[in-house]
Structure 1
């Protein structure tokens, strides 16, 4: 009898933690009390403060970002079209987290089970689309670095819109099928906490973790390492080219000097003033000729550089785009890796997580993944001075004075 009670208690605890895991990875409630599975605890304002403030900051930061892109036309470049798309996705993530705030307050999912199936599928599709959008930015940067001329020539608003539609299509198609369609087909009971069906199988749970984090991370890592290697090689090649040009210029000067010395020595045996004058004239001619040759070479190099620069993006533009991408990737990794690793370990062996991770720590890690949508706007401000200046102007009380 005691053994049966013990087994029942263990099953109950595991089921409750499954609910908590679902609530985090399913983007519903991460603060539900595992000792109160039926939502009978009275609503608590204390449990509402943190998620409400945190998610409000996500919405506010992304609204400000969209406002900056709307106010300043110079920010609407080809590269920033990808950033604008990411901002829209992050804004929708923040708005969708309203269900999490309500869930934290009333201790149960606020809508019906049918709404749970539909909303969860759409919401997870948007979150995954945000992650996929970072992969798309990496892929575009990869082409810009490895095939700069064709990338620059093919850049257009139409191309940016088509590429930016891919994360939406991929994310929504996968998650609506994986959550909404599947659960409606089998008539899954989501319960009071909107528990998704795929969390009840280790394999399907690992698939969602891979789709949401590990697969995008692997692609980002490969692309960004290749981008970094290529940029280092390009910088090293430019430095070597500058060094070679300086060496060639020095050799040319030495050679001209030697030729001038030979010319002077060949005429010095006469001791005639006219010969010396003639030699001097030759020296002037040779120096003048050498100067003209150097000027001509410099002009040719400048023309080649100018013609090439018109067919590739500028160094400043590439630097800003690469730095923005780096900050976005760092934000993605730091915010997503804790809960993704926890979810993966639990799928393999629940006992490695259940006794060790407190409910408070789990709540922190679960909320941390949403920080990705908050850090992205900060990344734009850090990497783009024009964006930063536009935001400051938007909130500046100083208005330009009108001329009398």
Structure 2
């Protein structure tokens, strides 16, 4: 009886570990399949999809590189574009350019049907590339945070603006992105001696929890911060515009009231004069006194007006101009829209895949999976377009560059 019990217990334990191993194998196969399908192969990993797909991806990555090189060229040749706000944009452009260059490995991967380098290189390159992608997303958060300070604390923000501050702020995305992903991919996979396979499959894909973590770090956490900051920026700008409109209407009302009072006083003085005689009957001394009083009053009003104008001018010199604020806010809006539109599809797919892989593989068509996998990098192509749409000087500089005209020097 004891032998039967022991054998049953042993059998149950063996089956338990067998089920775990089968589950791990299924996840490994699903991860391998997902990596393979994103490089235009069928589930067996032997049949190429089409040459058209390869050409499309190659052209797409080339456009990313060219667009960001042109953007850097515009910042280089036009000194007026090198403002504090655009220093943050230049940092984002450099990151997007490096992402486009790094995607060249995917073209080779696609062409030869396997990762072109060794597994050790896979661990290092994947960690660095993921860090750059994450740094690009964090850079959007940094731009949004800087614009938030400019809206809520304009004077201190303007006073503290400098190249040194821009360099410090620009270093944050690099440090955060690279340090996290090199540790999360490179160090971890070297420590556990992870087998990346022929398709360079990452270790975090083998666990739903670790896959959710990387998905949250790449998209959901930056999205949450950006959403909160931008909503606050939008509310503050709306209140400021409404306050200015109210001040304008109040100023017009005061002007009408003062005009009505002046007319009323004039009519009263004319009426009183008509009872005592004509204007020539007024004593000469009285007219001189009135002239002196009105002259003194005019001088006082001029002094008050000059003081008010000086205060207004001094304040305006301590905050960024309305045109600069409008361009910065418009640029941020377009960058945020590009970030959300390009990253939402693949992030939702990755989240569902973390919960239940079978809903994505083979539930989602291969072509759709490939499209959404590369759509996220469209963010690096849309960002330069956003700069051209939001900044007329940037757009004019690019036109002059291609027309071989030398841009005008800064005044």
TM-score (norm 1): 0.88
Residue 79 to residue 273, structure 1, CA distance change in 2 (3 Å): closer
2:323 equivalent in structure 1: 316
Q: What secondary structure does 1:110 align onto?
A: coil
Alignment CA distance shift 1:250-1:44 (3 Å): closer
Change (3 A) 1:14 1:204: closer
DSSP-derived class of the 1:36 partner? coil
Shift of residue 254 of structure 1? 1.9
Residue 33 of structure 1: aligned partner? 41
Closer, same or farther: CA 11–46 of 1 in aligned 2, 3 Å: farther
User: Aligned-pair distance for 1:372?
Assistant: 0.2
The counterpart of 1:250, out of the listed 240, 256, 271, is 256
Which range moved further: 138-147 or 9-18? 9-18
Q: Does 1:396 align with 2:403?
A: yes
Superposition deviation, residue 399 in structure 1? 7.1
Does residue 129 of structure 2 align to residue 123 of structure 1?
yes
Q: Does 1:354 align with 2:325?
A: no
Is the 1:43–1:106 Cα contact (8 Å) retained in structure 2? no
The structure with the largest alpha-carbon Rg is 2
Is 1:234 matched with 2:240?
A: yes
Shift, 1:272, TM fit? 4.1
Q: Which residue among 91, 95, 99 is the counterpart of 1:89?
A: 95
Q: Distance in 2 between matches of 1:289 and 1:354?
A: 87
- For 2:35 and 2:93, locate their aligned partners in 1 and report how far apart those are by CA, in whole Å: 26
- Aligned partners of 2:47, 2:128: CA distance in 1, in Å? 29
Post-superposition offset of 1:59: 0.4
Output one character per residue of 1:237-281: Cα deviation in whole Å (capped at 9) or x when no partner: 111111112212222222222222222233322224523697998
Question: 215, 222, 225: which is aligned to 2:221?
Answer: 215
Give the secondary structure class of the aligned counterpart of 2:275: coil
What SS is found at the alignment partner of 2:361?
A: coil
Q: Is the 8 Å Cα contact of residues 273 and 279 (structure 2) preserved in structure 1?
A: no
RMSD: 2.7
CA spacing shift, 1:289–1:252, aligned 2, 3 Å? farther
> Contact 2:131/2:177 (CA < 8 Å) preserved in 1?
yes
Unaligned runs of 5+ in 1: 1-7, 24-28
Cα 1:289–1:325, aligned 2, differ >3 Å: closer, same or farther? same
Moved more, 271-280 or 174-183: 271-280
Secondary structure (helix, strand or coil) at the match of 1:369 reads helix
Equivalent pairs, count: 386
TM-score by length of 2: 0.87
Equivalents in 1 of 2:116, 2:393: separation in Å? 42
Task: Say which of 149, 162, 170 aligns to 1:164.
Answer: 170
Alignment-derived partner of residue 32 in structure 2: 19
5+ residue gaps, structure 2, are 1-20
CA distance in 2, matches of 1:304, 1:367: 54
Going from structure 1 to structure 2, the CA distance change for 1:316 and 1:383 (only over 3 Å counts) comes to same
Which deviates the most, 335-344 or 251-260? 251-260
Mean Cα deviation higher: 355-364 or 168-177: 355-364
Over residues 55-99 of structure 1, what are the superposed CA-to-partner deviations in whole Å (9 max), with x where a residue is unaligned? 000000000000110101111000000000000000000000011
| Pair 315,296 (structure 1): closer, same or farther in 2 beyond 3 Å | same
Matched, 1:182 2:206: no
Cα 1:236/1:296, change in 2 over 3 Å: farther
For the 8 Å contact 2:123–2:190, the answer to whether it is kept is: yes
**3-state DSSP of counterpart to 2:276:** coil
2:320 corresponds to 1:307: no
Aligned twin of 1:371: 378
Cα contact 2:40–2:49 (8 A) shared by 1? no
Deviations 1:261-313 (A, max 9, x none): 22223332222452369799898888877766665554444322211110000
Which residue is equivalent to 1:332?
Answer: 339
What is the deviation of 1:48? 2.0
CA contact (8 A) 1:47 1:104 kept: no
Q: Paired residue for 1:3?
A: none
d(CA) in 2 for partners of 1:264, 1:284:
17
Name the counterpart of 1:274. 280
